[in-house]
Amino acid sequence: MAVMKTVYTTGEAAKICKVSQQTIIRCFDTGQLKGFRVPGSRFRRIPREQLFIFMRENNIPTDALESQLRKILLVDDDAEIVSLIQDMLERDGRFEVRAANNGFDAGMMVKEYHPDLIVLDVMLPDINGKEVCQRVRSDKTMDDVRIICISGMVEENRINDLIANGANEFLRKPFDVEILQKRICALLDMEPTR
């Protein structure tokens, strides 16, 4: 059973409303969007019911708020691995999963799908993972997208290079899908299943 989120960051609210984070912050600061500041910090938080009211008042479709599924994009040219990961995430019930088997398709899908997290094979037929990381990180609207790189390669300097270019984590193939699921949940601030 999916756990419904009750409080959102300005980044999450921006993504749900399909506006910039600055727009959400401005609406919060002017009182159009009700919420609270985290005590002792400058962070703003928006309760779910306030975000819903704000969306209704501004004619923003509320379906993104109602669906609550976290969006995952799998990018790997190995259909077996994609299928394995996809099955695991769909069984969890809290994820919507799409897949691409090359860097070009992945680039197109990242733009239109705006996933919460990308599981990215480093060795793609047309482009390498480092380049995909750089492209995602060069787009400010994608700042909230998490990236887990996967590969059979073992060179420590190449792994460090991926992290330096925007990957949040690296998992070496072969890996246990349950470990991947735990890493995904940790990066998305979700409770792990079990």
Q: How confident is the model at residue 6 (pLDDT cuts 50, 70, 90)?
A: confident
- Token pair belonging to 49: 């019911």
The residues facing 151 across adjacent strands are: 172
140-191: pLDDT as tens digits: 888 889 999 999 876 889 999 999 999 999 999 999 999 999 999 999 888 7
Closest of 70, 67, 10 to residue 193, by C-alpha:
70
Arithmetic mean of pLDDT, 52-77 = 86
Percent of the chain with pLDDT over 90: 62
6 φ, ψ to 5°? -110, -20
> Would you state the pLDDT for residue 194?
53
92-115: pLDDT as tens digits: 888 989 999 998 899 889 988 889
Whether this model's pTM surpasses 0.75: no
> Would you state the pLDDT for residue 67?
67
> Would you state the pLDDT for residue 90?
87
Q: Examine residue 174 and say whether the peptide bond preceding it is cis (omega within 30 degrees of 0).
A: yes
Asked if 115 contacts 97 with a C-beta cutoff of 8 angstroms, the reply is: no
7-41: pLDDT as tens digits: 899 999 998 898 999 999 999 999 999 999 999 98
Closest of 143, 190, 152 to residue 172, by C-alpha:
152
